[in-house]
Amino acid sequence: MAHKLLLLVLCFITLCLVGFVIFTLLRSRRGYWTRYFLFKGQLQPPLYELWFGDRVRAARRTASRKRPRFFFWWLKKNVVLLFCAVCIYVVAVGGAIYAKKVFWPQPVATHRLGEAVAVSEEYKKLRKTYIELTAAVEKHPGDVSLLLQLAKTQREMGSLQPAMQTYRKVLMADPRSPEALYGLGALAAAVGEVNLATLKANELALLRPNKPEPHLILAQLALRAGNKELTAVQLRAALGKEPANLEARELLVTLLLLQHSYAVAVREAEAGMKLAPDSATMPLLLARSLAGAGQSSEALAFLRSVAAKQQTAAAPLLLMAELQVQRGEFVPAIMSYEEVLKRTPNDMVAMNNMANLIADHGYELDRAAALASMLYTRNPRDPGVIDTMGWILFKQGKQEQALALLQMAAGGAPKNPVHRYHYGVALLKGGDIVAGRRELAEALKLSGTFDGAVRAKALLARKG
């Protein structure tokens, strides 16, 4: 809704500016025509001469001998009005963009979602559950338990606004429902509705003073505002009231990882594993904490045990492949992605990363091209997929096709160092030395540790 409103405002003020320019052009054109054509005798309609003879003759005497060009004459005549109109336009556009950022902030992502969530098996199950619950709610609109299940499903699907509406329906039927109060408050914090989130946190604090939910809502608000210290205080308070609260523990470990406090994160994650050994998220957080603390070998061994225990889960293997790439173990990383595709054949993150690894460090370039082509057919506008397709075409020697795609990928994601690196290498290969070196330098400015950074530094160190 915010994007549509912003687009309408921008279109309206743009049309107003264009209309103003056209109006001044038409008005000036009529004056220009009268002054420099009729009055100088180039066009002399008899009736005009007859009716306004004195005015015509007087204007002829005062008209300049040399007729200026219409554009400069129009610009000189309307320069002040045009300057004011452009200033108003710039202020209106800037105000609309600022209002969109302030009043309609984007939700804060708390979990990493795969790019292919629309085709994942988990999403299909959620979609099926959502359809069944929607039908059940239509038959029994006053059933609070059904509404709570529907809201939870909508939240897991990422439909935050519909989930908030469902929680509001629950509160209309039961204003003291703790689940609905917490769900609505947490979602309000996620989408940036500070007043609503604070209100629900206060209601929960009055209703259940010894429970951690109010602190969790306030912690999410503080995290969204960038106040990490206040976030930690609220999470510690939540854990003080309920040490076994898994959500508070996960948020605390995530915060510690953001603060690079890896040793403390390891301790908190290990405590979370003892409290909830079957958790799906805590093992990943523990592995990331171990890797951040410099214990990447222990993290990989732990992820292997988790993957063996959770034989249908792909997340441990994805993280294991990511850590293997960071350690420079490219062939084992390819094998990890192979295992991911055995468990979830439509995992596009694994397909994309594996195609890139095969093209750079692996084998079977034809298979990488097949994977990239499949991805490009499904997601022709995704910069990551475009980059993969272009890079593999470059490896195959198809320079012109690769350069066009790599340029699109670098333009679509200018903050991605890998895309800029690939585009720079392709430019160097095509003979554009200046632009290629500039792209490589920009890639290294963005990150000095991406896969290919060493090669980029070597290329920049070369002379000529």
List, in sequence order, the alpha helices (H) in 140-177.
144-157, 160-173
Q: Residue 156: pLDDT above 70?
A: yes
- The predicted model scores a pTM of 0.63
CA distance 260 to 125: 36
pLDDT mean over 40-62:
49
**Would you kindly state where each structural domain of the chain is located, as residue ranges?**
2-62+74-99, 370-464
Biggest alpha carbon–alpha carbon distance for the chain: 104
- Candidate ranges 5-19, 27-41, 413-427; pick with highest mean pLDDT: 413-427
Core vs surface per residue 149-167: b (16+ CB within 10 A) or e? bbbbbbbebebbeebbebb
Chain segment 252-305, per-residue pLDDT in tens: 999 899 888 999 999 999 988 888 888 888 999 999 999 999 999 999 999 999
Q: Which residues contact 351 (CB under 8 A, 6 or more apart)?
A: 337, 341, 371, 374, 375
Q: In the prediction, which pLDDT does 400 show?
A: 87
d(C-alpha 378, C-alpha 26), whole Å? 50
Closest CA to 292 of 266, 269, 316: 266
Q: What is the CATH number of domain 370-464?
A: 1.25.40.10
